[in-house]
Amino acid sequence: MIRRKHTKTIKVGNVSIGGDNPISVQTMTNTYTEDAESTISQIQEIEKYRCDIVRVTVNTDEAAESLKTIIKNVKIPVIADIHFNHILALKSIKAGIAGLRINPGNIGDKIKVKEVIKACKDNEIPIRIGVNSGSIEKGMLDKYNGDFSQAMLESALNHINILEKESFYDIKISLKSTDVLTTVKAYELLSDKVEYPLHVGITEAGTVFSGAIKSGIGIGILLYKGIGDTIRVSLSDNPVTEVIAGFHILRDLGLRKEGVELISCPTCGRAEIDIVGFAKEAERKTSSMKSNIKVAIMGCVVNGPGESMHADVGIAGGKEKSVLFSKGKIVGKYNNNEVMNALINEIEKITGEKII
Ligand code: SF4
């Protein structure tokens, strides 16, 4: 059982972050925000995968202008990601965003910073301070002899200080590096110093395969230490994959008991069915499910019946026909070209959830 470190609760739209609230899963769109139609359609797709919060880039006036339409047409809270430009921040707040990602120390003029903070206060919009190893100030890095964790920490504390001086405490913070151990150290240092909720992730983690492993290790270590209130898996891929990966990390650590755990054998010379194809198909079909369920796809009678019986639903492959198990009991024997449909029907039956 993981004991989470105590943090203050903030609200991003209708999602509470920090305290005892469930750890939320976030992603970021990769469409041009100016293109409202494509952005809405991408957000609606990630909503099907139970994403809690989405962030969009706001880097032009046109992007800020399309926010209103986007927000009106999606269900989950939208955060605007802004660098340097306080006018875009003000326009985004006016458009109805639920959160702002901006580093106050990078806005420049104090008056501009105050204007943004006031607008956030008036509209109850939290600010995420996001320090990344790739954009850390050179002077800060020199000060700590190239220690990115210490440099990111000090940079974040400076940004926090700017907000606190204006009595603004509706804050969450991220300190992301592309390196797992640097990221872990940075968050550990920060977590000892602040009670604000932390958004954790490994930045620019890579492709689905390498990036999900890297994120699983980095985010996993932090969550295991009780650090982290909301997560984003950063992958060079469709945002849907980020959401699926995020939920897998939370599920595997027992932090959110929802979604499908797939048990599938690695196959060997005994396999009687196409395990690789079956496992991929089962995963693809069930990856948006909310129900907490364990599904086993096993290739033969050696370990198949045991694992399938211990799962909620499972298949043990056989020559021509495979056995379908549900809640520890045999449901029936199906031809190998029909057993996948039977498995999906059984999952729908026991969960009451329609598979999309
Ligand atoms: S379940 Fe059967 S096919 Fe799969 S790895 Fe084990 S022995 Fe091989």
- 38 touches ligand 1 (CB under 6 Å): no
Atom of ligand 1 nearest to the CA of 268: 8
Structure tokens at 201: 């992730």
Ligand 1 atom closest to Cα of 269?
8
- Known binding residue 195? Answer is no
Ligand 1 proximity of 265 Cβ (cutoff 6 Å): yes
Question: For residue 58, how many C-alpha atoms fall within 13 Å in the half-sphere facing its CB?
Answer: 30
Ligand 1 geometric centre to CA of 264 (Å): 9
269 lines ligand 1 (CB under 6 A): no
Burial environment of residue 345 by CB neighbours within 10 A (0 to 12, 13 to 18, 19 or more) = middle
User: CB of 302 closer than 6 A to ligand 1?
Assistant: yes
Burial class of residue 333, CB neighbours in 10 A (0-12, 13-18, 19+): middle
**Pocket perturbation via mutation, ligand 1, pick of 262, 264, 300 by most ligand atoms within 8 A of CB:** 300
Strand residue runs (E) in 73-139: 78-81, 99-101, 127-132
CA-316 nearest atom, ligand 1: 1
Mean pLDDT by 10 residues, the chain (356 residues): 95 98 98 98 97 98 98 98 96 98 92 96 97 87 93 95 97 96 98 98 96 98 98 97 97 94 95 95 94 95 86 94 95 96 96 89
Q: In sequence order, what are the beta bridge partners of 322?
A: 334
The neighbouring-strand residues paired with 232 are 26
Mean of all residue pLDDT scores within the chain: 96
What number of helices (H) and strands (E) belong to the chain?
12, 15
Find the 346 Cα to ligand 1 centroid distance in Å: 23
Q: Estimate the crossing angle of helix 86-95 against helix 110-123, to 10 degrees.
A: 10
Task: Tell which residue, 60, 7, 9, has the closest CA to residue 33.
Answer: 60
Nearest residue (by CA) to ligand 1, atom 5, is: 267
Q: Is 268 annotated as a binding residue?
A: yes
- Mutation to probe ligand 1, out of 274, 275, 302, 322 (largest number of atoms < 8 A from CB): 302
Q: What integer pLDDT is reported at residue 204 of this predicted model?
A: 94
* Ligand 1 contact, 336 CB (< 6 A): no
pLDDT at 148: 94
Ligand 1 closest atom vs CA 299 = 3
**Contact predicate 233/278, CB 8 Å:** no
Is there an atom of ligand 1 within 6 Å of 80 CB?
A: no
For residue 299, the CA-to-ligand 1 centroid distance in Å is: 5
| Alpha-carbon span 189 to 218, nearest angstrom | 15
> In which element (H, E) is residue 47 found?
helix 36-48
> What domains, with CATH codes, occur in the chain?
10-252 (3.20.20.20), 260-351 (3.30.413.10)
pTM: 0.95
Whole-number pLDDT of residue 339 = 96
Nearest CA-CA partner of 244 in 197, 196, 212: 212
